[in-house]
Amino acid sequence: MAPDCTFIPIAITYDQVIEQRTYLAELSGGTKVQERGWHLLRMGRYLKRRSGRIYFNFGESISYVKTLQRAAPEIGSPTALTDAAKPALVRELASTIMYAMNREAVVTPAALVATALLTPMQRAVTETELLDIVDQLCRYLQWKGAKFSEPLQRDREEALREVLQRLASGPSRLISRHEAFQPVCYALEEGRRLQLDYSKNTIIHFFASLGCLAVLLRTRFLHGEEEIVVAKLEGDYERLKRLFQEEFTFSTRLKPIEHITRLVQYLREAGLVEASEADEACIRVTPPGATRLRLFSGLLRNFFESYKVALLAGLQIPSAGLEEKALVKMMIRYGEHLLLLGRIRCPEAISQANFQNAIRAYKTIGLFSESGDQLKGKKVLIWQGDNPEGAQLQQALEEWC
């Protein structure tokens, strides 16, 4: 066995992705088309287009042995690694690599614009509102030490306006600019949210922890809790980390309560919460915080709604269960039904990838089990209706959404 193995995390960020149409079709439930050699012959027409920049960032090397020593110090040497301990090590190594890759991702103007357009859940956003939302996002990203693309560093407003102009032009435009009256605003074209969500997802991992905490704070605030005990947020925060374990890689450098305390410190510095006069262990949401927490909690709305759809669909599958592909298709149809009824608001929540991740998370939690029976040679998923976690999570998701 080699003495060590080193992994180099590489983040590749695109201003625009030429395979976007294929990817969006897969998210909507389409089957992935197998790529073949002759597909390369079609690349010429794409290469003639201007698709912006590609950013390559390399993170610090990650040692297999050091990861092993951190994850399982009792093992000591790789030669002493047992088969039973391997799955936990693989998860730890994968999490470490993914976290490092995410940290090296570049924030682009397109990602900021897409996030600012989608998060408010409005038909249109004024130019002033959009720039204000981007400013709030950038403040947090700077606090996290995120890397910004060169156009954003040079002239942020100019970079944003170039993206807005591109999105509002051409036959396949995603937004329209309305300037006949004041204030100037940008409206989303019908059925184009999923395309914008693709760009938003290139930076959403930066906001996973803050988004989860904002949801918890805002839920308590809306339920009339004027004094919020920070220590009592830990349980629900851990619950959200488990729920979204397939979506995001959360930092493990700090204990959960230490991570929450650090995020609360940022919110205090930003003026969104303040220490309680009666008890230093409590915080109060400030008037500006009530508005800003709505923004930050809205960043993850489509993920919360995807998992809500997946859970409600699970409650309706036959007692004999369903094969996973059939279950995902059912979730897509049920999501479309709930969208029509107004029980979810984000069309981008109807995502094949999100539903597949939700199924994996719910299997880990114990809400789905795999039957030993075979359906056309494939395992069948059965909803565990007697698991009390299901009813508790359903109630929580209704509040969080």
If you write DSSP's letter for every residue of 3-20 in order, what string do you get?
A: S--EE--EEEEESS-TTH
Name the residue ranges covered by the structural domains of the chain. Answer: 6-30+46-104, 106-202, 205-298, 301-400
Q: CA 360, CA 246: separation in Å to the nearest integer?
A: 7
Amino acid at 243: L
Strand 322-323 to 368-375 pairing: unpaired
Angstrom distance (rounded) from CA 140 to CA 146: 9
In whole angstroms, give the CA distance from residue 103 to residue 98.
9
- Any idea which residue has 């809400």 for tokens? 367
CATH for 301-400? 1.10.10.10
Q: What is the pLDDT of residue 373?
A: 57
| pLDDT recorded at residue 339 | 97
* 8 Å CB contact between 273 and 383: no
Axis-axis angle for helices 352-365, 20-27 (nearest 10): 50
pTM for the whole thing? 0.89
pLDDT digits (tens, 9 = 90+) for 47-96: 566 667 889 999 999 998 888 777 777 666 666 677 777 777 788 888 88
Q: How far is CA 235 from CA 11, 252, 256, 292, 375, in A?
A: 32, 16, 9, 23, 39
H/E run at residue 125: strand 124-126
Strands 322-323 and 282-285: unpaired
In order of 67, 208, 361, the CA distances from 160 in angstroms are: 40, 23, 36
For residue 292, CA distances in Å to 131, 184, 203, 299 come to 14, 22, 18, 11
Among 146, 151, 181, smallest CA distance to 163 is for 151
Q: Are 198 and 117 in contact (CB under 8 A)?
A: no
Contact call for residues 110 and 164 (beta carbons, < 8 A): no
Beta bridge partners of 284: 274
Report which residue type is found at 14: Y
CA angle, corner 237, sides to 234 and 241, nearest 5? 135
- Rounded Cα distance, 236 and 246, in Å: 17
> Which stretches of the chain drop beneath a pLDDT of 70?
1-2, 17-51, 74-80, 372-377
pLDDT score for 3: 74
Cβ neighbours of residue 46 closer than 8 Å, sequence gap 6 or more: 18
Q: How far apart are CA 322 and CA 381, in angstroms?
A: 5
Domains 106-202 and 301-400 equal at CATH topology level = yes
What is the model's pLDDT at position 312? 96
Level-2 CATH architecture, domain 205-298: Orthogonal Bundle (1.10)
Tokens 């605030």 -> residue: 221
Structure tokens at 259: 């991570």
Q: Are 65 and 2 in contact (CB under 8 A)?
A: no
Residue 163's nearest CA partner among 114, 126, 121 is 114
- What pLDDT, on the 0 to 100 scale, is given for residue 52? 76
Locus of tokens 């608001």: 345
Residue 72 φ/ψ region, left for φ over 0, alpha for ψ in the -120 to 50 degree band, beta for the rest:
beta
Helix H segments across 53-155?
64-71, 86-104, 109-118, 127-144, 150-154
The CATH number of 106-202 is 1.10.10
